[in-house]
Amino acid sequence: MSSAPETPKLRRPVSPLELFYDLVFVFAISQLSHHLLEHLTWRGAAETAVLLVAVFGTWAYTSYEATLLDVHRKVTRWMIVVAMGLGLFMNAAISHAFDDRAWAFVIPLLLILFFAGTVTALAGRTDALREHFRRTLVWLAASAPLWIIGAAVGPGPRLWWWAAAALVDLTGTWLAHPLPGRALSGQELAFDARHMIERLRLFFIILLGETVLTAGRVMADVPVDLPGILAAAGVFTALVCMWAVYFGGAEDVFTTTVATTTDPVRTVRLGVNSAYLVLAALVALSVGSELVIAHPLGHGSVPLALLLFGGPALYLASTGWFFRATARGAWAERLLACGACVMAGAAAVWLPPIASVALLDAILVVTAVVLARAHQSLSRSLQAATKA
């Protein structure tokens, strides 16, 4: 295979096949939310977190590879189709992965990771790309025995083995799978960073869409009365604000940052790293919303407060970190809103759910308005710096 550098291309739009692949993970988010709702304990939260790392890591890993290989190549399209089929089986086993379907979850997970990594290590068009994914396979080989042992042992110790495996995978993703003396340099790769940012953007819409579907399913099962209507309206308002916090100009900031940075791979990698926490935040909010709509006049509780306010707080903190690390702006507003969510969450333990969601809406509406202005100002500053 040629080791000549790839010729930079114009930005490629996200293909229908990539969007088709993303739909498999709508099901995964539903399964993760269901697992947390059915196991509303600290252990259940830990199990959900481990499964989330595995599931989103699979999506991020294969999406990176599709972007690097070029989705228009036949080998890339076949890789996506095979990964999608295996992913469907993996995601179907999520709700019982800690019961009697451990192997049904682990086998497709490992097949996806090793299959996709091997394809990229062989079919990459440059020496740098092929060498990077050979390093990635080494990291996967380090975590695979932990996943396998976890599937072989009983449900009790399984969490510890799988948590260790998830930590190895997460560390590899966070650090870009380095080995001693060898690490990824963004300048070595011809990478369509805007394409990957678009993938993340569209995946975020899918995640929000699944949260809307969850709320809709609960609404269909509860009585149509004033408290239920107000709770559902409050949940919908919170979801719209979560959407607006990003789509109220943040995508323009991302686009400008990627276009002007000297290391677009790093910027995208930081975006993927923060997306783990964004996904966890949306799963938490989804479960909290379901509890609010089902029991709007019930009693407040620590679990409900953690889900309903902890989810948005985590979302604001993780995106604030990303903005601080890349665009150098619009992060302080997020941290202030995160602090407001934490304080409101402490009060929500003693409030009825319908009052808690109203308090959350007040915080998120103000946050969305403030951030829309901050994003516009930051985008203008970045564009002006580019022209200077």
Query: What number is the average pLDDT over the span 295-321?
Result: 94
User: In the structure, what pLDDT confidence band is assigned to residue 307 with cuts at 50, 70 and 90?
Assistant: very high
Helix intervals (H) in the chain: 16-38, 42-69, 74-92, 102-123, 127-152, 155-175, 193-221, 226-247, 250-260, 264-294, 302-326, 332-348, 353-387
The rounded distance, in Å, linking the Cα atoms of 372 and 363 is: 14
The rounded distance, in Å, linking the Cα atoms of 253 and 350 is: 39
The rounded distance, in Å, linking the Cα atoms of 60 and 176 is: 12
pLDDT of 375-387, one tens digit each?
A: 988 888 887 777 6
Query: What number is the average pLDDT over the span 103-118?
Result: 95
Contacts of 210 (CB under 8 A, 6+ apart): 26, 29, 30, 33, 282, 286
Say if CB 133 and CB 117 are below 8 A apart: yes
pLDDT of 315-327, one tens digit each?
A: 999 999 999 988 8
193-387: CATH topology: I/LWEQ domain (1.20.1410)
Query: What number is the average pLDDT over the span 328-354?
Result: 94
Tokens of 61: 């890993």
Say if CB 308 and CB 292 are below 8 A apart: yes
Residue 180, pLDDT score: 79
Tokens of 145: 């025995």
Average pLDDT, the chain: 87
Query: What number is the average pLDDT over the span 334-361?
Result: 95
- Judge residue 362's burial from the number of C-beta atoms within 10 Å of its C-beta, 0-12 exposed, 13-18 middle, 19 or more buried: middle
| Least confident piece of the model among 66-70, 316-320, 338-342 | 66-70
Cα dihedral sign, 301-304-305-306: positive
Ranges of each domain in the chain: 16-188, 193-387
Q: Rounded to two decimals, what is the model's pTM?
A: 0.90
Is pLDDT of 128 > 80?
no
Is pLDDT of 107 > 70?
yes
pLDDT of 218-257, one tens digit each?
A: 888 888 889 989 999 999 999 999 999 888 878 778 777 8
pLDDT of 43-67, one tens digit each?
A: 999 999 999 999 999 998 898 888 8
Is pLDDT of 304 > 80?
yes
Query: What number is the average pLDDT over the span 96-115?
Result: 95
Query: What number is the average pLDDT over the span 187-191?
Result: 63
